[in-house]
Amino acid sequence: MPIALYALALGGFGIGLTEFVIAGLLPEVAADFRVTEAVAGYLISGYALSVAVGAIALTAALGRVDRKKALLGLMILFIAGNLLSAVAPSYELMLLGRILAALCHGAFFGIGAVVAADLVPQNRKAAAISVMFAGLTIANVLGVPLGTFLGQAAGWRATFWAIAAIGIVAFAGITVLVRPTPAAARTGLLSEFRIFGNRQVWLSMVVTVLGYGGMFGAFSYIAYTLTEVSGFSSSTVPWLLVLFGVGLFAGNIAGGKAADRDLGRTLIVLLAALTVVLAVFALVAGSQLATVVALVLMGGFGFATVPGLQMRILAHAADAPTLGSGANIAAFNVGNAFGAWAGGLTLAAGLGYTAPMWAGAAVTLAGLLVFLVAAAVPGGEFHRDRTLTLNGATR
């Protein structure tokens, strides 16, 4: 793989660390700013909402800009946001720093996915995208535990100083290693939005919302499942989440390679397998050994869908790939919010701590059904001669 992909992956690592590490530092942040846990939680939800906004708005605004310059500009915004978080004298400025960092998140991955795909031949595009997203998965495996440890040992601000430093290194790497990539020719901003007249673009985003949202909804309440059902102590939860992160990393790489071979079949198999894993997890959560296995499989199958879902929308939004890619990043975050909401409803209804798993399985199954519909209508994987297609070519 081209070395430039690893510069993009480092940027993804920093962005993933910014998104997830705050969860482990919320008690310290809340105590420092003297706000309640619920108010401190807005540092997470505010970030997620800003990702969705930036994924479409900034990606569209940067459509005329050389993609390398766009990525560098986004990294500057990322560095500034984390520096503001590190020095913020008040909760409000801390939230502003989080929002600034979040705005670059979706656009970076959206534009970066297009740049990554352009660096390799047609038959390796999904694998290239998976390398870029590997930074995000490594942030879960190593970055979040280490960032939490640093914040607890040296103060939570030290973590954000470290993240800003990672951003500076990623900026240097992109500057040196990523070649200039002119933006695609376009007649105007409105012309790019015409991709949303393609029903396959919308169907792809719905599959992303449901397919990824089901996994994230189950994961949102995993600490309760692990402690209240499986019987693990709270001190072991971070280490169990490292195992989940290992599954994310392995699934991301394997899913990218599989999607390059056969995009349609890969997504069907992965969505079906994830549905089964979530349902079985709910049934075996009382067993600690089975829970460990299920946790790794949930992360593996859940994130294995990401390269294929991103490749599919790039194929159907070819006239405006960066906007389409950014819109799908927004869809991932909408899926995060929807899945967590659905899982929360089951807990509020008193259905128990395995109920979010059942809700996640149902949401993922809905994603699979939507994909089967998308594949069967004109432009879909099944439509041409009733056979599966790979990147537009009949197999």
**Selected residue with higher pLDDT from 277 and 314:** 277
Helix (H) or strand (E) holding 19: helix 4-33
Distance CA 274, CA 266 (A): 12
Residue 359 has a pLDDT of: 93
Judge whether residue 196 has pLDDT over 70.
Answer: yes
**Selected residue with higher pLDDT from 319 and 37:** 319
Distance CA 18, CA 260 (A): 30
Using DSSP's 3-state secondary structure scheme, residue 393 falls into strand
Tens digit of each residue's pLDDT (9 = 90 or more) over 4-20: 888 999 999 999 888 87
The region of weakest confidence among 13-22, 46-55, 278-287, 306-315 is 46-55
Residue 230 has a pLDDT of: 92
Using DSSP's 3-state secondary structure scheme, residue 390 falls into strand
Confidence of residue 157 (pLDDT cuts 50, 70, 90): very high
Tens digit of each residue's pLDDT (9 = 90 or more) over 216-246: 888 878 878 888 899 988 778 778 878 888 8
**Selected residue with higher pLDDT from 22 and 358:** 358
Distance CA 314, CA 35 (A): 42
Judge whether residue 92 has pLDDT over 70.
Answer: yes
Residue 325 · residue 309 · CB < 8 Å? no
Q: Tell me which residue of 252, 294, 292 sits closest to 273, measured CA to CA.
A: 294
Q: How far lies 12's CA from each of 94, 159, 244, in Å?
A: 21, 16, 18
Distance CA 148, CA 280 (A): 31
Using DSSP's 3-state secondary structure scheme, residue 135 falls into helix
